[in-house]
Each structure stands twice: as C-alpha cells, then as structure tokens.
Amino acid sequence: MLACARTCDSSITDAPTVIRRVVLPSQQDPGEGACMTEPLAPEDFPGPPGLPFLGNVRAIDLSQPIESLMSLARQYGPIFKLTTPGGISVVVSGVDLVSEICDDARFDKVITAGLSILAEGPVDAGLFTAHTDDPMWARAHGLLMAPFSMQAMRDYMPAMIDIADQLMNKWDRLNPDEEIDVPADMTRLTLDTIALCGFGYRFNSFYRETPHPFVQAMVRVLDEAQTRTPPAADPDPAQDQCTAPVRRGSGLYGQLGG
C-alpha cells in the first residue's frame, strides 16, 4: 500500500501514471495518517527487461504509447518500473492507486525538463511551472478560484457545447473513407474551448487550414523549451551515441526520463 510519494504527473485515470519517487511505510506502523520518508529503490520494482544503454525504449509502441503501458501493467502488475537513458521511472496504474498518489497532502509536483526551462523564461510561475510553495503561484491560485467555481463551470457550458458542435460538424462533413486525426482534433477542441471560455476569443481552428498564429507561437515556445532541456549525463561516449536518437524522438520518453 502506498503511503506517500513526491510527484504525480497525471490526473486520476485507469491508464498508467508515471511518478518519480515512491515512498512506502516502514514495517513498524507509526500510526494512522503518518507518512514515512524511507524510500523504496526504483530498482526493487518489477519491470520489463531492458537493453544495454537504451533500457526499455523499445518496450513502448510510439504509435500506441498508452496501450503499451496498459499492456505492461497487465503483465507486471499495477506498479512497475521503466528504464530509459534518463533513468528509472515508476509507473502506477488503476483508479485506487492513482487516486492515492494524487493526494496533494502527501504528494507534490516537481518541475523538471522542459517545464523548468519555461519557468526560467517566458512563463514564470504558472499552473504547470510553479513550485507549490511559490508565493506568486499562491496569489495566482487565489485569483483563479472564482473563474473555476462550480457556477462558472455552468456558465461556460454553452461555449463548450458551441466548440464541440464545431468538431461534430467537421466530422459530419467527412466522407466515409476519410481518416480522422483524433489527437489533432482533440487539441483544436481543447485550445478553442479554453480561448472562448477563458478569454472570449475564437481561434476558429475547425475553419482554418493552418493553426491560429497564437497557437503556432505557443507550440514554437514549447518545442524550444523541450529542445533546450539538458540531456541526462552519459557515463561514456557509447551511451551518448545510443541516447541521441531517443532525445530527438517522442516526447513520451522525455516524460519518462525527465
């Protein structure tokens, strides 16, 4: 049973969640609600066998990363490890365990990889880039409480339905043999909903051939932050040659190894 840990990278879900450090209680229970700090080494968790230098890079199907993680969870259990050139990460799956590690009374987020670059540059103390004890984030959090209240969510519903209808209309216009790029359309749906509900502005992504200039600029900033992320220290040149292609690959491994 998990007692406490340091970070959680996802919301409650059935899909596996990557965490950075797991802490378990000692054999002598200190009492209800207590949280020990004796870490369980990531090496102690089960996981797929890895290749020299590359680790479990080939264990994940880049075209179906979530399905790959779910398959590994069925094989190795609800808590398992993945080894990448950036180190070892622990994956937790299942509603009960993910709900527990998302308990912010015992968990905290850690700002790493591209997020740390954003925090030092254009974003500063934002939702995903601020440390929990940052006073600027505490002030911003207070300002955001009203726009995210239950009544505010009800008021946003017409705008949310408006954008969802645009997505449905786009799909309705497709021919039966045409493919749907679901991830891209979900991104359009998300960004357009946030822009309209939060700022009263329409990106009109479902009526454009290319993304809105603001969206293009935002993507460039995120890509640049990821590009500037310092690579993990390599013990020898051979490993550096092996890890270079991975750093240029999918962002999934940046998350796993970050």
What per-residue confidence (pLDDT) applies to 63?
81
Instruction: Report yes or no on 39 lying in a domain.
Output: yes
What per-residue confidence (pLDDT) applies to 11?
35
Distance CA 26, CA 178 (A): 57
Query: 60-64, 67-71, 173-177, 204-208: which has the minimum mean pLDDT?
Result: 60-64
pLDDT at 122 over 60: yes
Residues 153-178 as b/e (b if ≥16 CB within 10 A, e otherwise) read: eeebeebeeebeebbeebeeeeeeee
Which candidate, 139, 138, 131, places its Cα nearest to that of 115? 131
Decide: 244 and 72 in contact? Cβ < 8 Å. Answer: no
What per-residue confidence (pLDDT) applies to 16?
57
Same domain, 189 and 97: no
* Domain end point (choices 87, 110, 133): 110
Mean pLDDT of 42-65: 86
Same domain, 92 and 19: yes
Mean pLDDT of 102-115: 80
pLDDT at 195 over 80: yes
pLDDT at 163 over 90: yes
* Domain end point (choices 110, 130, 161): 110
Same domain, 82 and 166: no
Same domain, 174 and 96: no
Instruction: Report yes or no on 245 lying in a domain.
Output: no
* pLDDT level of residue 172 (50, 70, 90 thresholds): very high
What lies within 8 Å, CB to CB, of 206 at 6+ separation is 166, 167, 169, 170, 185, 188, 192
Same domain, 12 and 94: yes
Instruction: Report yes or no on 116 lying in a domain.
Output: no
- DSSP-derived letter for residue 30 is -
State the angle between helix axes of 150-172 and 182-199 in degrees (0 to 180), rounded to the nearest 10.
140
Mean pLDDT of 195-199: 93
Query: Tell me, what amino acid is at 159?
Result: A
Q: How many domains does the chain have?
A: 2
Same domain, 105 and 10: yes
Instruction: Report yes or no on 126 lying in a domain.
Output: no
Decide: 57 and 84 in contact? Cβ < 8 Å. Answer: yes
Average pLDDT, the chain: 76
pLDDT at 96 over 60: yes
* pLDDT level of residue 175 (50, 70, 90 thresholds): very high
What per-residue confidence (pLDDT) applies to 248?
39
Burial of 124: CB neighbours in 10 Å, binned 0-12, 13-18, 19+: middle
- Domain of 214? 146-227
pTM of the predicted protein model: 0.58
Distance CA 92, CA 104 (A): 16
Which candidate, 78, 94, 103, places its Cα nearest to that of 6? 103
Instruction: Report yes or no on 150 lying in a domain.
Output: yes
More confident residue, 100 or 189: 189
Determine the 3-state secondary structure of 195 from DSSP: helix
Decide: 1 and 35 in contact? Cβ < 8 Å. Answer: no
Query: 26-30, 80-84, 127-131, 178-182: which has the minimum mean pLDDT?
Result: 26-30
Adjacent-strand bridge partners of 39 = 23
Query: 38-42, 73-77, 235-239: which has the minimum mean pLDDT?
Result: 235-239
Burial of 106: CB neighbours in 10 Å, binned 0-12, 13-18, 19+: middle
CA 162 to chain centre: 27
